[in-house]
Structure 1
Amino acid sequence: MKSIIAGTQRTPFLPLAASLTLSVWLGGCAITAKEPPGGGHAGTLPVQYAGWFTSGPQANINGSDWGTINRAQDRIEEGRYEEAIAYLQPLMDRYVPTAFYEMAKLYEQGLGVEKDPSEAARLYGLAIEKSSSVRGHASLNLAQLYLDDGGVERNDVLAYYLLWQAVEADLNRTAEIELAELLSEGGEGVEADPALAIQLYEQAASQGKAPALKALAEAHAPGGWLWEDAAQSIAYAQRYANRLEANAGQGDVGAMLQLASAYSQDGLLGDQPDRRIQWLQQAAQAGDLDALARAGHEMTKAGEYRQGIALLEDAARQGHVGAMTYLGQALLEPEHTGRLEQNRAERWLNEAIQAGSVDALVVLGRALVNGQADLDDLPRGLGLLEQAAESNHPLALAQLGALLMNDERVTSQPYIAVSYLNRAHELGHPWATQQLGVAYLESRGVLRDLERAEELLHSAAEQGQAGATRILGEAYLEGLLNGNPSQGIRLLTQAAEQGDSYAMILLGRAYQKGSGVSRDLNEAIHWLTRARDAGHESAAAALTYVQRDLGAGGNINALIAAAKGGHPGAMADLGRAYLDGKGVERNHIQAEKWLEQAHQAGHAGASASLGRMYLDRGDSARGIDYLNTAASRGHDAARADLGEAYMTGNHAEQDVERGLELLISAAESGSPNAAFTLGDAYQHGKGVGKDAVLAERWYQQAGDAGAIHARAALGIAFISGEGAIAQDVQRGHELLLNVAEQGHLGAQAFLGREYLRGENIEKDPERGVNYLYEAASQGYRSARLSLAEAYLSARGYANVNQEQAMLWLNELLDSEEQIALETLRQLILEEVNVAASGRQM
């Protein structure tokens, strides 16, 4: 231990700039017994400490005393502490301040005596009762003890005055830096003065003191106590690095280690693994065993396993317990799961445990309970974790809490789990805090307390626990906590950005369903794709479902992706798209391929589509087989098609009883087509007796279910009076007008003919022609024929048959179709008007 004092008293001296700066804050205060140094930021100094700050003549230390002190310092540097104490004791008996100071340092560091901060503080106090060359140094050391909470009761006021005294002594140490730190935010009984803190820091920074440069860089960084100024923060950080590099260049191992920390994830110069490892290796080459272990650990984390493990093994062989633990942990990673590595990992961890490493107990215990690298021994793993828990290891406590709370391999003991989690939480472990929050949220081992759950989860989230952020977000989204869904989305996004893959899944589902956010299938695909890429096992399936939804909205590429992803509904939709030529070119081979795959996957709709497809092709046996399969899977439309086939005898041997059973079952399940078929059967007596009540009932049910053609059929039945339903022209007219306005071509054509004939409703040729034209313009064949018949009749051709009308219409439509129809409409209206004029004359 090097001496920091000379054999003669040094005269305090401040550079001109520093003295001018500090004199403002000192206010010209003279140092007397009644007025200790300081700028008025702290309360009155207790009387019993006034002697520490008295001015007066220097303590009487003669040349012989200095010689004894120097001999004691030499013995301390040589590690001969008992001899050093023997030199110091007589001087302390005579109250020589320097002897008290040297002895205090021994007690503070535990050199030659048992470490005792309280005794060190007492001796530092004796060292500063008289003015001497060590008063400033002792004041600084004592202030540090009062601020460190390390065995001495914290006292910010005393520390404040002691630091001022050390600043005035111009020690070229850290007094002004530590005083600035205290004043930056204030303390118990000490008023904050950020402006003075800046001046003190800048004074130290101007002298190139690395801690001051670091403090200013941190103060201007985001979250610092000064205004945020990224450029200024970076400038101070670079000056800090330059100062450290200069020191490191002179062999200062501490500077090398500080540089490594500056390039860490939370360091001032950002996460730069290569630079961090470089400085750790340099410190290791200088003989620092800790740096060798850290360098190896960092290299394994950076993916340089071979070299990292070599460095760790080197440090471990030299007896570094931390290196043994790091090495064992690295050898348990997936890249090193061979039998040899497993045995080496266990050997090194056991050596670290024998050397007293609690961390090694936890690493090996967790590996054994989790079956990591084939180390599967649950009882032994639990025993190691419990052993570590006896030493209050936070991770061991958190792991035991997790195991006893909900692990399938261990009998659940929620109350004991909560006890472990409480202990780990009090020790500041964020994972334990998160688990405890979940326990209060779900009432596991404790009574449900949503307020406490929210508090704990927020605390864990603020400590960087992405899982806690995700759990909070999910709870807000589902309304379990008194937040709002948008807050839930914000927290889930935050957790997802931190790499929580399950948060990505929850976000994807939220955007898919529109829960707490506007529905956005593209955003859902974005998050689910990220979850899949992050390795979440359920992401691929969830992504396929969203692609199916997007495909259902018309995105054929998404539909194809969902079908290829194995979604039965997407396969069925893609098959129908190829069948109908919607979004893709019509392709019956592809249609059959995808419908068959969906059918094989159990999709009832695909079976029904295949059944109808084969019936249309004339392959009745195969079509009926598919329809039977679809019906057995609960497909109502398939039951309706089957029922119609059995009722009519088309495509299957007629079986009216079975057909009725199938149709009624499908109709009662909500199939409008089945209801329409029943209504039509009872109206026209197809396979059953005519029944007006049943015909109207089933037509009405089909119409209410959205089958517009059923309402059209019912309207036609009322107007025509043919079939089971009695004529009711008014009801029929109202129904047909309604469905015609909705675009039903059959209703438009029927009304057109009725208005032209004028038999059931009042004749209105113009209206009739317009209805026929509307239907004909959209390709309705019977409306075209009716238009042609109407024109020929208007021209005086009597008894026009359909064949004659069709022949003439085809000749007319050889020209542009729509123009031809419009011309035909105008010609008919002209003929009608001419005929009407003739009758009037």
Structure 2
Amino acid sequence: MTKTIPPLNPFSRMFMAGCATCLTLALASVSAMAQDSDASPQTDRDPPTMQQVEQAWQAGDYVAVREGLKYLAEESGTALATYRYGRILVEGRGGPRDIAGAVKWLRLAADENHVEAMTLLARLHLSANTLTGAQEDAEQPDLDPARATELLSRAAALGGAEAQFLLGQIYLTGTNVEVDAGTAFNWYLAAAEQGHTEAQYILSQAYDAGVGTDADPEAAVTWLRKAAENGHLPAQFYLALRLEQGDGTPQSNGEALQWYRRAAENGLGIAQRELGTHYLRGDIVEQNTAEGLRWLQAAAQAGEVGAMANLGFAYANGMAVEQDHTTAANWYAKAAQNGLGRAMIALASLYENGLGVEKNVDTAISLYLKALETNDRDGAAIELGRLAGAGALAGKMAPHRAVNWALAAATAGNEEAEAWLMQQADEGIRPALTALATIYLGTEDRLQEGITMLEDAANAGDADAQLRLGKMHMTGENVELDYVAAHKWFNISATFGVDEAAKLRGQVGDLMTPEQLAEAQAETRNWFATQEPQPPKNNQTVRSSDPEDKRE
């Protein structure tokens, strides 16, 4: 069963996520204010207090919250009141969203060095492209992404952890500043030391990859653990993975299982998949089929395609469950429909052999072809090369199309695929000759045969063979170092439209004397004058099983 671990994503936080401080706001006397949500409260009632506004927030009475904050912002003008009023206008609670109004009030608070106001205002500036022009009849906010860095720098200097984190993002990505991984790392570190969970997670990645600092696997695990302990779900999963593998930390199956479970119970699909798979395998925990199926099915039902494929694998191979190819095919089909290449390959194999589904080689071929467009393209190419070697593609597509697949299969040890390449080469399929040469060039006992085949393919007009020969002569790989020959073959290959050959021709030309260049150009002209490249022979009638392949 294959593990597929998604790449880490250091930019998972949305720029318009809520600020860290939770507003708690008013119910009692504030709720009797004027019907207009932005009107001033009645003069015959006591003015609202911040405590009453906080009580209203707790009760979910956002109309009262908005009215109360408007009054407090206008009357008291404190940084806290203007910040909170600006924020509720951003969020659109208790009335329409008003970005232009929010910017006005947040600037007043920012002028008083209110850290949260500066941070939120910087977020608005960074989101200028998505916020301006959203409503044609609304006042447009005065926003400019270039202003964000100055605001965040002020807030970060005053100890704002969120501002420090955002500065790390800005310097890492080069948003309106020069990319500076070292500065980014320092700001992430400052935020992480204040308990900023996302900064702790990204800091662990920086230590892992050595970005902005020296690589330090142990420090990476330390910060990963801090983020995990603060409830960061991906951190919990990757900590479990490292504990299982002993990567940067002592290996501990028991602790790994606990972190897998924490992330799984909080809804992280990949953690549910791994936990369920471990229970089915019984590798780091005692085997428990019911528990394994419970977690795998929960992940699959939530759309985790790897869990779907793992369920297919379990039923196809009878792993802790009764072998059931029909159920396996159903799970593989769901994963394949969601674009998972290994599931397409597995489902194709079932169709090829008539297991759990009606045997249909054309459907199998179609699935293998689709898998070529995924990250599992290498496995799909080997399977298609195997089919070519077995003659299953004959009459279904042009032979030259299958050459690279057969090469992949032959390289993997499939003798039928290698024999098929020999047959195609004998019938004049030039790419097949080049593919065979590639195989033989990798062996000591047939090296010279491979060189001869490559030269034959190049002289027959195969541009890839010409490119390969040029590279060999340029570096002296398996042949004599010869810039004249390299330039000639690059020149010929470039004439047939190979861009890489044109670039390499210029590079090797810079190493040559005028006399050598003249000699290479003369040999190129002589090649075109004496060689007569022939089109590949193909006497087969093509009946395509691929709807996109209409060639005859």
Structure 1 equivalent of residue 305 of structure 2:
604
Residue 663 of structure 1, aligned match among 350, 368, 373: 368
Distance (Å, rounded) in 2 between the aligned partners of 1:518 and 1:681: 49
Distance (Å, rounded) in 2 between the aligned partners of 1:387 and 1:363: 8
- Kindly provide the amino acid, as one letter, of the partner of residue 424 in structure 1: A
The answer on 1:383 being equivalent to 2:88 is no
Distance change in 2, residues 1:621/1:404 (3 Å): closer
Structure 2 equivalent of residue 679 of structure 1:
385
- Kindly provide the amino acid, as one letter, of the partner of residue 485 in structure 1: A
The 5-angstrom pairing of residues 506-521 of structure 1 reads 506-508=202-204, 516=212
Structure 1 equivalent of residue 186 of structure 2:
490
Structure 1 equivalent of residue 412 of structure 2:
709
- Kindly provide the amino acid, as one letter, of the partner of residue 560 in structure 1: L
The answer on 1:412 being equivalent to 2:60 is no
Distance (Å, rounded) in 2 between the aligned partners of 1:648 and 1:739: 33
The 5-angstrom pairing of residues 415-814 of structure 1 reads 415-443=100-128, 445-448=141-144, 450=146, 452-482=147-177, 484-508=180-204, 516=212, 523=219, 526-527=222-223, 529-531=225-227, 533-534=229-230, 539-547=231-239, 550=242, 557=253, 560-561=257-258, 563-564=260-261, 565-566=263-264, 567-573=268-274, 584=284, 589=289, 598-617=299-318, 619-649=324-354, 652-669=357-374, 671-686=377-392, 689=394, 693-694=398-399, 697-698=401-402, 700-701=404-405, 703=407, 708-709=411-412, 713-718=416-421, 734-737=437-440
Distance (Å, rounded) in 1 between the aligned partners of 2:120 and 2:332: 53
Distance (Å, rounded) in 2 between the aligned partners of 1:508 and 1:668: 33
TM-score by length of 2: 0.54
Distance (Å, rounded) in 1 between the aligned partners of 2:257 and 2:232: 15
CA offsets per residue over residues 299-323 of structure 1, 9 Å max, x none? xxxxxxxxxxxxxxxxxxxxxxxxx
- Kindly provide the amino acid, as one letter, of the partner of residue 235 in structure 2: L
Distance (Å, rounded) in 2 between the aligned partners of 1:508 and 1:460: 24
Name the SS for the 1:382 alignment partner: helix
The answer on 1:402 being equivalent to 2:87 is yes
CA offsets per residue over residues 374-405 of structure 1, 9 Å max, x none? 37363365336524542332322222222223
Distance change in 2, residues 1:679/1:724 (3 Å): farther
Distance (Å, rounded) in 2 between the aligned partners of 1:586 and 1:364: 54
- Kindly provide the amino acid, as one letter, of the partner of residue 157 in structure 2: E
CA offsets per residue over residues 763-803 of structure 1, 9 Å max, x none? xxxxxxxxxxxxxxxxxxxxxxxxxxxxxxxxxxxxxxxxx
- Kindly provide the amino acid, as one letter, of the partner of residue 550 in structure 1: R
CA offsets per residue over residues 466-517 of structure 1, 9 Å max, x none? 3333332332233224252321221222123234445435545655777655
CA offsets per residue over residues 779-830 of structure 1, 9 Å max, x none? xxxxxxxxxxxxxxxxxxxxxxxxxxxxxxxxxxxxxxxxxxxxxxxxxxxx
Offset at residue 543 of structure 1 (A) = 1.8
Q: Is the 8 A contact 1:712 1:735 kept in 2?
A: no
Distance (Å, rounded) in 1 between the aligned partners of 2:76 and 2:396: 88
Q: Is the 8 A contact 1:559 1:574 kept in 2?
A: no
Distance change in 2, residues 1:689/1:333 (3 Å): closer
- Kindly provide the amino acid, as one letter, of the partner of residue 363 in structure 1: M
Name the SS for the 1:392 alignment partner: coil
Q: Is the 8 A contact 2:115 2:160 kept in 1?
A: yes
Q: Is the 8 A contact 2:152 2:163 kept in 1?
A: yes
Name the SS for the 1:472 alignment partner: helix
Distance change in 2, residues 1:652/1:376 (3 Å): closer
Distance (Å, rounded) in 2 between the aligned partners of 1:473 and 1:727: 54
Offset at residue 697 of structure 1 (A) = 3.5
Offset at residue 573 of structure 1 (A) = 5.0
Q: Is the 8 A contact 2:389 2:419 kept in 1?
A: no
Distance (Å, rounded) in 2 between the aligned partners of 1:415 and 1:600: 43
Distance (Å, rounded) in 2 between the aligned partners of 1:728 and 1:432: 65
Distance (Å, rounded) in 2 between the aligned partners of 1:600 and 1:468: 38
Distance change in 2, residues 1:376/1:523 (3 Å): farther
Offset at residue 367 of structure 1 (A) = 0.7
- Kindly provide the amino acid, as one letter, of the partner of residue 455 in structure 1: E
Distance change in 2, residues 1:343/1:498 (3 Å): same
Distance change in 2, residues 1:626/1:446 (3 Å): closer
Distance (Å, rounded) in 2 between the aligned partners of 1:575 and 1:725: 53
Distance (Å, rounded) in 2 between the aligned partners of 1:707 and 1:561: 44
- Kindly provide the amino acid, as one letter, of the partner of residue 390 in structure 2: H
Name the SS for the 1:419 alignment partner: helix
Identity of aligned residues (%): 24
- Kindly provide the amino acid, as one letter, of the partner of residue 401 in structure 2: R
Offset at residue 541 of structure 1 (A) = 1.8
TM-score by length of 1: 0.38
Distance (Å, rounded) in 1 between the aligned partners of 2:193 and 2:163: 14
Distance (Å, rounded) in 2 between the aligned partners of 1:587 and 1:629: 26
Distance (Å, rounded) in 2 between the aligned partners of 1:387 and 1:650: 72
Distance change in 2, residues 1:436/1:553 (3 Å): same
Distance (Å, rounded) in 2 between the aligned partners of 1:732 and 1:423: 71
Distance (Å, rounded) in 2 between the aligned partners of 1:697 and 1:664: 12
Structure 1 equivalent of residue 478 of structure 2:
none
Q: Is the 8 A contact 2:406 2:418 kept in 1?
A: no
Distance (Å, rounded) in 2 between the aligned partners of 1:730 and 1:636: 30
Distance (Å, rounded) in 1 between the aligned partners of 2:182 and 2:359: 60
CA offsets per residue over residues 564-595 of structure 1, 9 Å max, x none? 222443454566678789x7599695877765
Distance (Å, rounded) in 1 between the aligned partners of 2:185 and 2:380: 45
Name the SS for the 1:490 alignment partner: helix
Distance (Å, rounded) in 2 between the aligned partners of 1:459 and 1:647: 65
The 5-angstrom pairing of residues 229-240 of structure 1 reads none
Offset at residue 645 of structure 1 (A) = 3.2
Give unmatched runs, 5+ long, in structure 1: 1-331, 347-357, 742-747, 752-841
Distance (Å, rounded) in 1 between the aligned partners of 2:278 and 2:60: 53
Distance (Å, rounded) in 2 between the aligned partners of 1:363 and 1:700: 72
Q: Would you tell me which structure has more helix in proportion to its own residues? A: 1
CA offsets per residue over residues 608-636 of structure 1, 9 Å max, x none? 34434444456433433333333333333
Distance (Å, rounded) in 1 between the aligned partners of 2:377 and 2:94: 50
Name the SS for the 1:464 alignment partner: coil
Larger deviation: 396-405 or 709-718? 709-718
- Number of residue pairs matched? 385
CA offsets per residue over residues 40-77 of structure 1, 9 Å max, x none? xxxxxxxxxxxxxxxxxxxxxxxxxxxxxxxxxxxxxx
Rg (Cα) greater in structure? 1
